[in-house]
Structures are given as C-alpha cells and as structure tokens.
Amino acid sequence: MSVNLLIVTNGNRESFAALEQGAWLAETLQGKITLLGINEEDNPAAIDDAYPLTEIFEKAVGLFKARGAEYKLEVQNGGAEEIVPKRAREDDSIVVLSPMGRSPIQHWVKGRSIRDFIEAVEQPLFYATKAKIPAQKILISVGGLGYEVSAEDIAMQIAMKRGAELTLLHVVPPIDFNYPTAETVAKNWQTLTETDTPIGRNLRESLEAARTAGVAASVKARQGQIVEEILKEAAEGDYDLLCMGSSYSGMSLRQKYSSNVTSEVMERAPCPVMTARYKRK
C-alpha cells in the first residue's frame, strides 16, 4: 500500500530538518513525496535571499534521489496555515514539517504555527525541529482513552521496517477526582500492565501486537504533570521519535490530551514528534 508524504517548506533554513526526516520516512514506508514550497510573500522575489525556495528545492532533490524516493515539486502562494490542511486532504498525506521561522513578534501575537497545524490538519503530522535519523528508539505516549492508536500503528510500521525498539509510556497525573479507576492506577502505577483498568488493557494489547509483529517493546510509567514527564522521559531516554495522540482525536473526550498538551510537547521535545488523530475503523 502506497503512502503519500507532504513535506512542507516556506524557504526558511529551519525547514531542512523536515526534508531530512521526510526523505528518511519515505524510504522507510516506501512513500511518494510531494515537496510543497509555500511562498508567503506577495512578491516571489521577496523571499529571503539567503534561503529561497529554489535553494531549498535543490537540496531536497539531492536528498530524495539519494534515498531513491519518488517525488514531485509544488509551489503555492499564500499562508502555510491555510494551504497545508487543504493540500494534505487532497491525497490523504502524512504531513512533515519544521518550524516556519516566524518572528518573535508573530509568536507573541498569534502563537506558534504548530498549534494551528495540529488543529487544522486531519492527517498524521510529523514535526521536526531537528532530524534524528535513523529512528531506532521510539517512545509512544499512551493515554487511557486510546487516542494514540493511529500514531501507534504508524510507529509499529516504522519499527517493523527499521528494527526499532518501542517504549510505551503512560504518565499518571495527580488525581483530581477520587474514583475507583483513578485510585487503582495511582496505587499501581509501577505495575499497570497487571491491572484490570483501561490503561492496563491498552498496554497489554499494545505489547501483544508488538510481539506478534516481531517488534521489541517495553512499558514505562511515570507520575507527575503530563507534559513535563513526557518531555523528561524523551530527554532522559534519548529517543529518536516521540509518538502521541492528538487533542482532536476524541472531540468531546479530551481529558488526557486536553488543553494544549500535544502542542506543548511538540514545541519543546528534544526529538521529532509524530501525532495522529484516532479514526474509528
């Protein structure tokens, strides 16, 4: 089954990480690449002279050829936040991007663009502030609601192709409400796979799926604030890729990835992050 990848650049030098990560991902998943260059200036000649789209495209073509990837090049004029979600829907592409090089003032006024992309892009989204290749250690953040299933499926494919190791991480947050399931998880957080709780069952199913696929997998649990503990594990474990569900996976049920947990992790993670919305089959 062919996979479509949409690698995005607006000509900024930071986007080269997306090119590297995307080329590797295309080789791994045997995917077809569309390199989407976005000219966000009214005048094409106004693109940053140091890193114009033409220079980025030249570097990208060299990368794609070296990886033996099938690719095509596209340029569109306008804002990335409006163009990328529409283009990704056209051929159901996995979107690969990096920071867009916005100014501090733009960040202050509008926030970071990754938050807009998480909300608007329905397809899986890889975000790389820096490339980490190959991805031999993959961390999957597993919640209690199953939002991570789609991201976990892609991570499993990568692990099978590359012989990578999977670590399933569950963070047990401070208990806000006293109810039996939460108390059981809090008391048995170090042996979650032995509990008859939703997260215990999810972890056991994921471990079994990995074993069936011939993928090495293990479970880790941490206690504390969700964002901080995910970031600590990602850094301390020196992972190459972090996978997690999206806050838009469950529509009204967002208690695990509520607020901006996904975007906060993506903005601060020490490795590339992949998020994907859960889709009922």
pLDDT greater than 70 at residue 177: no
Q: CA nearest 271: which of 153, 149, 86, 140?
A: 140
The helix-helix angle for 261-268 and 226-236 (nearest 10°) equals 30
Tell me the mean pLDDT in the region 28-51.
74
Average pLDDT along the chain:
86
In order of 100, 111, 214, the CA distances from 83 in angstroms are: 13, 18, 39
Pairwise CA distance, residues 265 & 239, whole Å? 14
Q: In 3-state terms, what secondary structure has residue 243?
A: strand
pLDDT greater than 70 at residue 280: no
Tell me the mean pLDDT in the region 142-164.
87
Superfamily of domain 3-127: HUPs (3.40.50.620)
pLDDT greater than 90 at residue 188: no
- In DSSP terms, 169 is beta-bridged to 141, 220
Predicted confidence at residue 105, as pLDDT, reads: 52
Q: CA nearest 160: which of 215, 208, 209?
A: 215
Q: pLDDT category, 171, cuts 50, 70, 90? A: very high
Distance between start and end Cα atoms, the chain: 17
pLDDT greater than 50 at residue 254: no
Q: Walk across the sheet containing 3-9 and list its strands.
A: 70-77, 31-39, 3-9, 94-97, 125-127, 273-276, 241-245, 137-141, 165-172, 217-223
Tell me the mean pLDDT in the region 129-144.
92
Does the fold of domain 137-276 match that of domain 3-127?
yes
Q: pLDDT category, 266, cuts 50, 70, 90? A: very high
Domain boundaries, the chain: 3-127, 137-276
Tell me the mean pLDDT in the region 172-180.
73
Q: Which CATH architecture has domain 137-276?
A: 3-Layer(aba) Sandwich (3.40)
Among all chains, which residue has been given the structure tokens 């880790």?
Answer: 220
- In DSSP terms, 140 is beta-bridged to 168, 243
Pairwise CA distance, residues 81 & 163, whole Å? 35
Task: Give me the helices (H) in the chain, please.
Answer: 16-29, 53-67, 80-90, 104-110, 113-120, 149-162, 180-187, 198-212, 226-236, 261-268
Stronger pLDDT, 237 or 175, i.e. the higher one: 237
Pairwise CA distance, residues 66 & 52, whole Å? 22
Can you read off the two tokens belonging to residue 238?
């020196």
Q: CA nearest 62: which of 17, 18, 23?
A: 23
Q: In 3-state terms, what secondary structure has residue 233?
A: helix
Pairwise CA distance, residues 112 & 101, whole Å? 10
- pTM, two decimals, is 0.87
